Amino acid sequence: MQFITRAIRDTVLEAGRDFPAVVLTGPRRSGKTSLLRRLFPRASYVLLEDPDTQDRARSDPRGLLEGLRLPALFDEIQNVPELFPYIRTRIDQNPRKMGQWLFTGSQEAPLRQHVSESMAKRAAILQLLPFSLAETDRATLLRGGYPEVLARPRARGLWFSSYIQTCVERDVRSVINIRDLATFRRFLALLASRHGQILNRTDLATPLGVSVPTVGDWLGVLEITGQIILAPPYFENFGKRLIKSPKVYIGDPGLACYLLGINTQAELDRSPFLGALFEGYVAAEILKSQANQGRRKELYHFRDQQGLEVDFLFPSGHGGLWMVECKASRTVKPSMAGPLATLRRSMSENAPVRSAVVHRPSTSAAPTRALAPGVEALDVRAFVEVIGGEARQTAKGGPRRARASKKPIEKSKLQV
């Protein structure tokens, strides 16, 4: 597979012009090293993976740094975060020189912590998620977005099983001590069966015979290694009592399908999980769009005790709010707009709200259209294009409505 341009490219380059250091985090195999090496081909390269290099970095950090030609790229910095204070000293000797210190790392939360403690104001932290639909049509629900799966879709089953063993389990073990890997694997499968549901730790712990705090630890480490998505409830400006737990999704849609035993498009189309999987796919696309624009990842769900539910709420690029209902169907009906309209009426928000039913593409319907007053129907491609364009639109001034594409949709593009 040829190198596919990443949507985060300009955000990384801009960060390199504005900050002395740039840290690129993200789940394993999302393409971090490839991207930074391509964007900064002249940077010296230090791979902090093998124990010898790590020992050297720990025992003589000044020696390592002084011998380096700048700019320098430190790959897998999560292994030696002790280097940060020494790098900070070097940055402060020449604080106006930008883009000299580049890092990749696969554990977002601890890295953020180290960077904010040791490198405050000196480093931009960005996150590279797997490929989005906005970057390549190959990133379907069934495949997900990992470059190696997209390069060899037929080997996807083998790739995911080895990904779980070599990446997920290794990352988990580097953070917490797991004694029983077989139970952890069962936990992953059980979690996939709860994809799109309100998180209930007890409900996950009981069938596995482990404690609720253990499940909490496992979820915590899956979250920091970018393997799950948690969408907390949206609280602002409602006088109602709300459900407090987040909704949970396996982060990569392809991995979710794999864990649920779904291996073909036909199996996906008739799966009882299709609705939840499509919802997770949309969730992942929203977060990818935010991460690629260098914005904070923010995704909420809404559910009140009267049973009103809206799948997602998230800030728009224009200081407003998006409200989204996801429908795996390729046919949308005005009744699908009901919850969005009801929630909109009960909101005291002054900020502009844009409401959409996001659905799977259809050959017969236009990608965008009005569904009910104030609610539009957008197929997932049109939706991804609109949210990805928001940052650019904001820069130019003023929002723009999605344009209905005039091109007929190819059949292969319907496989989302």
H-run or E-run covering 22: strand 21-25
Q: Which of 10, 33, 183, 198 binds ligand ATP (CB under 6 A)?
A: 33
Q: How far is the CB of 317 from ligand ATP (least distance, A)?
A: 24
Among all chains, which residue has been given the structure tokens 């936990």? 187
Mark the segment that binds ligand ATP (CB under 6 A) among 23-31, 215-223, 255-263, 272-280.
23-31
Beta strands in 106-257 (DSSP E): 123-127, 197-198, 228-231, 247-250
Indicate whether 34 belongs to the interface with ligand ATP (CB under 6 A): yes
Indicate whether 28 belongs to the interface with ligand ATP (CB under 6 A): yes
H-run or E-run covering 290: helix 274-292
Mark the segment that binds ligand ATP (CB under 6 A) among 28-36, 201-209, 374-382, 390-398.
28-36
Q: What, of ligand ATP, Mg ion, none, does residue 3 touch, CB below 5 to 8 Å by kind?
A: ligand ATP
Q: How far is the CB of 75 from Mg ion (least distance, A)?
A: 6
Among all chains, which residue has been given the structure tokens 């996906």? 268
Mark the segment that binds Mg ion (CB under 5 A) among 30-38, 48-56, 293-301, 364-372.
30-38
Residue 3 or 235: the one with the smaller Cβ distance to ligand ATP is: 3
Q: How far is the CB of 4 from Mg ion (least distance, A)?
A: 17
Indicate whether 4 belongs to the interface with ligand ATP (CB under 6 A): yes
Q: Which of 9, 10, 13, 33 binds Mg ion (CB under 5 A)?
A: 33
- CA geometry: angle at 130 spanning 205 and 287, to 5°? 70
Q: What, of ligand ATP, Mg ion, none, does residue 138 touch, CB below 5 to 8 Å by kind?
A: none
Torsion angles phi and psi, residue 358, rounded to 5? -100, 125
Query: 209-218, long-range: CB within 8 Å, 24+ apart, which pairs?
Result: 209/183, 210/183, 215/187, 217/176, 218/172, 218/176, 218/178, 218/184, 218/187
d(CA 192, CA 190): 5
Residue 8 or 328: the one with the smaller Cβ distance to ligand ATP is: 8
- R_g (Cα) of the chain, nearest Å: 22
d(CA 263, CA 150): 14
Q: Which of 11, 30, 100, 225 binds ligand ATP (CB under 6 A)?
A: 30
Q: What, of ligand ATP, Mg ion, none, does residue 1 touch, CB below 5 to 8 Å by kind?
A: ligand ATP
β-partners of residue 123 are 21
Indicate whether 106 belongs to the interface with ligand ATP (CB under 6 A): yes
Q: How far is the CB of 147 from ligand ATP (least distance, A)?
A: 3
H-run or E-run covering 45: strand 44-47
- Binding positions for ligand ATP, rule: CB under 6 A: 1, 3-4, 6, 26, 28-34, 104, 106, 147-148
